[in-house]
C-alpha cells in the first residue's frame, strides 16, 4: 500500500515537539534538542525554503536490517539524507538508520539500519546535508541537517515494517 506525504499541520507541530523531546542523536546517545541557530548559515547552506522534496514509501516485510524507500526527490540542495525514524507514540522518534541521497529523483533506496529492528512503524524523513558534507549531524550539531519542509510539514512518510 502506498501512502501519500500529506499530513496535517498538527502532526508537524507534534513532530517538532517529539523530535526535541526525543533528545537522541543517530547513535541513540542523549543530546541537546536541536534549536534554530542564531548564527548565520554556512556559505554552502541552501537558502531557507529553497530546498524541496518528496518521499514515497510502502508497507513492507523484511529481516529488520534494512528498509526500502520507494522514491525520493530532492531539489535545491546537492545532497540530503533519508533518516529512518522509529515511531514514538504516533510520531517520529529516534533515528535507526540513514542514507545519503543526491539531488534529483532516486528510486528503490535501501537504508541499512544501525541495528536490527522489530516489526513496527517507521518514518523515512528527508533531511538536507548542509554542514559537513557526508556526515549526518541532525541533533548532534545545533541547526545542522534539518528536515526538508513542505510548508510547515517535514517531508516524510510513515510505513509499517513487518519483520519475520
| Tens-place pLDDT, residues 13-67 | 344 444 544 444 443 433 333 333 333 344 345 554 689 999 999 999 999 999 9
What is the structure's pLDDT at 46?
53
Q: Which domain holds residue 31?
A: 9-35+51-158
Residue 163 lies in a domain: no
Enter the pTM of the model: 0.74
DSSP string for 12-73? HHHHHHHHHHH-B-TTS-B-PPP---SSPPPTTSPPTT--EEEEE-B-EEE-SSEEEEEEEE
Instruction: Kindly state whether residue 3 falls inside one of the protein's structural domains.
Output: no
Q: What is the mean pLDDT of residues 64-88?
A: 97
Please write the tens of the pLDDT for every residue from 94-144. Answer: 999 999 999 999 999 999 999 999 999 999 999 999 999 999 999 999 999
Is 41 among the domain residues? no
CA distance 72 to 22: 25
Bridge-based pairing state of the strands 91-112 and 120-128: unpaired
Number of domains the chain is built from? 1
Residue 103 lies in a domain: yes
For residue 81, being part of any structural domain is answered with: yes
CATH of the domain at 13: 2.60.40
* Per-residue model confidence (pLDDT) at position 155: 98
Extract the C-alpha cell encoding 118. 522489530
Amino acid at each position: 500500500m502506498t501512502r501519500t506525504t500529506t499530513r496535517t499541520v498538527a502532526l508537524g507541530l507534534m513532530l517538532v515537539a517529539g523530535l526535541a523531546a526525543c533528545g537522541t542523536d543517530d547513535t541513540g546517545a542523549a543530546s541537546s534538542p536541536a534549536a534554530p541557530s542564531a548564527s548565520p548559515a554556512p556559505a554552502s547552506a541552501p537558502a531557507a525554503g529553497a530546498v524541496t522534496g518528496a518521499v514515497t514509501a510502502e508497507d513492507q516485510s523484511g529481516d529488520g536490517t534494512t528498509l526500502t524507500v520507494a522514491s525520493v526527490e530532492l531539489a535545491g540542495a546537492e545532497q540530503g539524507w533519508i533518516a529512518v525514524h522509529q515511531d514514538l507514540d504516533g510520531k517520529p522518534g529516534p533515528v535507526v538508520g540513514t542514507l545519503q541521497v543526491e539531488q534529483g529523483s532516486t528510486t528503490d533506496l535501501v537504508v541499512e539500519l544501525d541495528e536490527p529492528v522489530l516489526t513496527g512503524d517507521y518514518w523515512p524523513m528527508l533531511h538536507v546535508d548542509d554542514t559537513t558534507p557526508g556526515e549526518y549531524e541532525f541533533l548532534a550539531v545545533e541547526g545542522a541537517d534539518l528536515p526538508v519542509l513542505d510548508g510547515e510539514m517535514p517531508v516524510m512518510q510513515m510505513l509499517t515494517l513487518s519483520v519475520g
